[in-house]
A = this chain, B = another copy of it.
């Protein structure tokens, strides 16, 4: 559907900018900035494709994504300092991308008739693990693991509701519900400062 395609582009742009800005902050060069943007945007989907054997991985078979990333990466290289001010817009795009990529990942798992719990894990990997690669490659412990944000948790919640909905709704309606749940959860979590628990120190 058309609106899913638009969300995918917006999400890809937001993920690329997040990687490219992290790279600029670490004083990487042109190649580093573009590569970090690329890895952040396609990293989650690539890990998913490799884990399920969907090769050559997706971005090698459709040039739309690589070209969008190249454009967004070059744009960030030049206008990075202005992009930083669009924090709220980028946050919204990022959230949309997170939700859509999660759904895309779950559907790939369903195609292979994997267990629904595994599909939710695949969706979460698709949405979140580009950022894990971005942080690892810039020498940081992945934010996903320690900021206590409701990020992967939103994917897991939305994914569970997706499979619940599939029992009595057509696939497209269930997808829309999952996207809405993931976005809403993430927005509410930021708004009300919901946090994940930590263990007591050892």
List residues of chain A with CB under 8 Å of any chain B CB.
21, 23-33, 35-36, 46, 50-53, 55-57, 60-61, 63, 66, 76-78, 80-81, 84, 109, 112, 114-115, 117-118, 121-122, 132, 136-142, 144-148, 152-153, 195-202
Contacts and interface: CB of A to CB of B under 8 A. Distances in A.
Contacts of A138: 141
A199 B26 CA distance: 11
A188 B120 CA distance: 43
B33 A199 contact: yes
Given A51-B60, A63-B117, A145 B29 contact: yes
B198 A146 contact: no
A121 B31 CA distance: 12
A153 B199 CA distance: 34
11 contacts: A26-B146, A32-B142, A52-B56, A53-B55, A56-B112, A60-B109, A63-B115, A66-B121, A81-B200, A81-B202, A137-B142
Top 4 A-B pairs, shortest CB-CB distance: A53-B55, A32-B145, A29-B196, A29-B148
Contacts of A122: 60
Contacts of A76: 199
The majority secondary structure among interface residues of chain A is helix
A198 B27 contact: yes
Nearest to A153: B31
B53 A56 contact: yes
A202 B21 contact: yes
A186 to B, nearest CB: 14
Most buried by B among A109, A122, A139: A139
A132 to B, nearest CB: 8
Given A32-B145, A51-B50, A53-B53, A118 B24 contact: no
Contact of A196 (B21, B26, B30): B30
A55 B122 CA distance: 13
A92 B52 CA distance: 33
